[in-house]
């Protein structure tokens, strides 16, 4: 028995094979794309934590990942026996195959997307929430673009699987590659030659589309984008334009007196561990409060309750004399969202959105909240970047910046929402020592402009120099609230002086 090369080569000029190849491309591409789209809501439902969503999603995924695709194809094609009205649609082998592939692929895609969604850092959710972006907007603008990029290599692999699965449609006589080949070797018995030609057709399809999808993967990879610093020749006229058209300082609180924040009997626990044990604190308008204390004292938990990243178990928080947060509130409440829009938050780990440029990071939230036209918001964002010394880097991505530069951009992003209060959660703890000064200088400038600020920090010298009052926390309670001058001289502040590192004898003598 010999291999018939002339017949084998003739198969690559056979119109039936090229038409069948087109059918494979159409069926696999359409089912992959639609399955990928349907997989996202399934993945989100499974991650929602709401039983009325998670249970149906889990059942769907479990069922269609368990049943062989061949069984699904035959079942769908024969559904007109149960529902005669569907015969006009499902009697078409292409339509039946398409529906079968989509419902099956959606289950697999949901798990791929779930893996991508779980890989997005929690800080991205918190940063978007702190900017007042609601759940759907947060998914659309921040989470899904990052999750899709993470999952894309696996999605590309799933497309290749989808191409090969189209051969199962031959069981319902869809004229795809395997069906054309079967008809040929049933007539001439040249099985090896025909199957090898079919294999090469599949290899060509997978290679071409694999290359296209790989190109898309590289295009979506922001780490390959090398945006440069804006040249000095372009910066000078841009700065002049910003100076003549932009306001010189940030917006400060609308109220001019009284308390910006009033925390009363705040309790917070994680499981059985109580981290906040009845906190009472008032922050005046324009006041700078620094919260210090040993690790585990509840400082970060306290500041996170102020913009409801952590809900409280007992007590209440008033904002400019009006009710803001109560123990019974849920994170999506209207009153809570309205109050949060007046509070800016800067995180310890920056939490910039890596898939957006620095300028886009600053613009995104104001655009979402429709605070102005795109041109006006871009102009305001440029002014804020200039304010924090980052205008020259406006078109870069976060991975191109140092930690100190990223933190200054994070401050500009928070200021873009024109907050009345700024919260800083350990803004310098993730920075190298030589980068700390630039960030602290920006915060000092905000203090001089009258911005109300609450700062959790381990920079003791900075806290003592910038603060109107210092809050010392230990064991989930406030041990002392006093001005820096009082802390230096008061006998009651000896524990705080030991923590800060001030010699008590020297402080008293002063």
Give ranges for CATH 3.40.50.300 in the chain: 243-509
- Phi, psi (5° rounding) for residue 347? -100, 160
| pLDDT(245) > 80 | no
Query: What is the CATH number assigned to the segment(s) 243-509?
Result: 3.40.50.300
Region 329-357: mean pLDDT is 90
| Token digits of residue 163 | 């191409």
pLDDT in tens, 40-59: 999 999 999 899 999 999 99
In the β-sheet with 343-346, what is the strand arrangement from edge to edge?
343-346, 421-425, 452-456, 288-292, 469-474, 477-482
CB 315 within 8 A of CB 268: no
Specify the pTM: 0.87
CATH tag for 5-220 (out of 1.25.40.10, 1.10.3720.10, 3.40.718.10, 3.30.540.10): 1.10.3720.10
506 has pLDDT over 60: no
Cα separation, 309 vs 166, in Å, equals 47
Model confidence at 503, pLDDT cuts 50, 70, 90, reads: low
Is residue 107's pLDDT more than 90? yes
Q: pLDDT by residue (tens digit) across 469-489?
A: 999 999 999 999 999 999 999
* Phi then psi dihedrals of residue 422, to 5 deg: -115, 135
Residues of the chain with CATH 1.10.3720.10: 5-220
End-to-end CA distance of the chain: 106
């Amino acid at each position: 028995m010999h291999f018939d090369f002339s017949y084998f080569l003739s198969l690559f000029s056979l119109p039936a094979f090229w038409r069948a190849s087109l059918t494979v491309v159409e069926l696999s591409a359409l089912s992959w794309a639609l399955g990928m789209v349907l997989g996202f809501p399934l993945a989100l439902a499974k991650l929602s934590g709401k039983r009325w969503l998670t249970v149906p999603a889990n059942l769907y995924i479990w069922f269609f990942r368990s049943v062989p695709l061949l069984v699904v194809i035959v079942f769908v094609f024969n559904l007109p026996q149960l529902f005669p009205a569907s015969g006009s649609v499902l009697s078409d082998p292409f339509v039946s195959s398409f529906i079968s592939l989509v419902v099956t692929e959606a289950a697999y895609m949901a798990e791929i997307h779930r893996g991508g969604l779980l890989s997005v850092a929690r800080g991205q959710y918190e940063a978007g929430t702190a900017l007042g972006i609601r759940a759907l907007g947060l998914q659309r603008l921040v989470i899904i673009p990052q999750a899709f990029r993470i999952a894309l290599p696996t999605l590309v692999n799933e497309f290749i699987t989808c191409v090969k699965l189209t051969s199962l449609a031959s069981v319902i006589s869809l004229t795809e590659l395997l069906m054309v080949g079967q008809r040929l070797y049933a007539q001439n018995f040249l099985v090896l030659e025909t199957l090898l030609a079919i294999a090469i057709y599949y290899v060509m399809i997978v290679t071409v589309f694999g290359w296209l999808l790989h190109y898309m993967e590289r295009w979506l990879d922001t780490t390959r984008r090398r945006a440069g610093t804006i040249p000095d020749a372009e910066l000078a006229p841009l700065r002049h334009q910003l100076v003549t058209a932009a306001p010189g300082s940030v917006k400060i609180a609308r109220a001019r007196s009284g308390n910006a924040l009033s925390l009363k009997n705040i309790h917070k626990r994680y499981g059985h561990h109580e981290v906040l044990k009845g906190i009472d604190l008032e922050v005046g308008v324009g006041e700078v409060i620094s919260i210090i204390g040993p690790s585990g004292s509840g400082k970060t938990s306290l500041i996170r309750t102020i913009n409801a990243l952590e809900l409280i178990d007992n007590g209440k928080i008033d904002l400019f004399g009006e009710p803001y947060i109560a123990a019974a509130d849920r994170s999506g409440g209207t009153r809570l969202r309205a109050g949060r829009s007046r509070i800016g938050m800067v995180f310890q780990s920056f939490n910039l959105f890596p898939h957006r440029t620095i300028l886009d990071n600053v613009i995104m939230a104001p655009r979402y909240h429709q605070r102005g036209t795109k041109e006006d918001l871009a102009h305001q964002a440029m002014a804020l970047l200039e304010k924090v010394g980052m205008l020259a880097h406006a078109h870069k991505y976060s991975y191109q910046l140092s930690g100190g530069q990223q933190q200054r951009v994070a401050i500009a992003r928070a200021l873009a929402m024109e907050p009345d209060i700024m919260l800083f959660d350990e803004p310098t703890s993730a920075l190298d020592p030589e980068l700390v000064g630039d960030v602290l200088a920006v915060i000092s400038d905000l203090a001089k402009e009258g911005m109300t600020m609450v700062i959790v920090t381990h920079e003791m010298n900075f806290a003592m120099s910038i603060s109107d009052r210092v809050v010392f926390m230990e064991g989930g309670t406030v041990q002392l609230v006093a001005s820096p001058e009082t802390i230096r001289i008061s006998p009651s502040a000896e524990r705080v002086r030991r923590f800060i590192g001030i010699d008590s004898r020297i402080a008293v003598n002063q």
